[in-house]
């Protein structure tokens, strides 16, 4: 039945970065579809808030403390989740972000970009945002012979956006890594895909997109002008993509793909 394609009852999902706006919205969607959801992160306060929100909506969730850049921490987290909720079959890697030190101000010289800032952005988005979580949680999925890994890439990984060179390069690497791992694990029951959100206002990019009076900044206006739908995305609009990719029944023959949710931004060249 088509109505059962997106039923995640009996599924356990781990959402790294589930305390953030986009990761939290995806965690909400997975829980609403019936999955038991582990919010994985470092902030007990924000993690607890997300768990309470999911429980208030009738879902099942728990917070799991972990350092995404430490493999042992992730393995301990994985084992703890499995003990409390059951074996994990869905992994969403939504941890990531940019750093002010790695963003070039207007007119800045790329040659002056600090190496430390570049490395930090790569560690945050590629190492902790995909590589190590896939190693830790992937071990259990491969042993079980089934699973869905969903890496969160970015529009910046598809088109090198001005100023955020380190972030763009790191997210491009996430897309490439997703395709590599999909090939590696395709015959072992584990699917690996990515979602590339377009522009979704959140805490870390709000000042880049909006002035204090609520109007668009110059950059925000440029983005809206380049987006056929003429608006930014709402985090809830990622729900369909993440639930589809999480569902073995709905996307069993889908792997190595980068699903774009951008209001048409990537379809516009002028």
Contact 106, 152 (CB under 8 A): no
DSSP-based three-state secondary structure for 247: coil
CA dist 198 and 193 (Å) reads: 16
Sheet with 147-152, edge to edge strand ranges: 60-65, 36-41, 12-16, 90-93, 147-152, 190-197, 258-261
Residue 138 vs residues 22, 150, 184, 227: alpha-carbon distances, Å? 22, 12, 12, 36
The partner residues of 15 in beta bridges, in order of sequence, read 39, 92
Cα separation of the two ends of the chain: 43
Contact 54, 34 (CB under 8 A): no
Angle at 77 between CA 73 and CA 79, to 5 degrees: 120
216 is an active site residue: no
Residue 143 vs residues 134, 146, 178, 230, 258: alpha-carbon distances, Å? 13, 8, 20, 45, 25
- For residues 211-231, one letter each, b for 16 or more C-beta atoms within 10 angstroms of the residue's C-beta and e for the rest, the string is eeeeeeeebbeebbebbeeee
For the chain, count helices (H), then strands (E): 10, 7
Of 6, 137, 167, 232, the catalytic one is 167
CA dist 182 and 262 (Å) reads: 23
Q: Compute the Cα dihedral for 259, 250, 34, 137 and give only its sign.
A: negative
Active-site residue numbers?
Answer: 167
């Amino acid at each position: 039945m088509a109505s059962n394609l997106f039923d995640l009852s009996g599924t356990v999902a781990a959402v790294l970065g589930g305390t953030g706006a986009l990761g939290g919205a995806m965690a909400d969607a997975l829980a609403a579809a019936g999955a038991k959801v582990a919010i994985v992160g470092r902030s007990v306060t924000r993690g607890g808030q997300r768990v309470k929100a999911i429980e208030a909506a009738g879902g099942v969730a728990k917070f799991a403390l972990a350092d995404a850049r430490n493999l042992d921490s992730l393995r301990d987290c994985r084992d703890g989740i499995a003990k409390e909720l059951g074996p994990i079959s869905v992994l969403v890697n939504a941890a990531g972000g940019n750093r002010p030190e790695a963003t070039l101000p207007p007119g800045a010289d790329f040659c002056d970009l600090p190496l430390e800032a570049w490395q930090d952005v790569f560690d945050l988005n590629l190492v902790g945002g995909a590589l190590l979580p896939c190693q830790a949680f992937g071990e259990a999925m491969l042993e079980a012979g089934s699973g869905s890994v969903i890496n969160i890439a970015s529009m910046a990984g598809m088109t090198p956006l001005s100023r955020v060179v380190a972030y763009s390069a790191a997210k491009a690497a996430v897309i490439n890594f997703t395709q590599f791992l999909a090939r590696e694990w395709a015959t072992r029951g584990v699917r690996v895909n990515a979602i590339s959100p377009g522009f979704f206002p959140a805490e870390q990019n709000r000042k880049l997109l909006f002035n204090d009076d609520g109007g668009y900044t110059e950059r925000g206006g440029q983005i809206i002008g380049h987006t056929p739908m003429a608006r930014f995305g709402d985090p809830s609009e990622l729900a369909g993509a993440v639930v589809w990719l999480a569902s073995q029944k709905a996307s069993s023959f889908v792997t190595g793909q980068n699903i774009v949710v951008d209001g048409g931004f990537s379809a516009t060249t002028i």
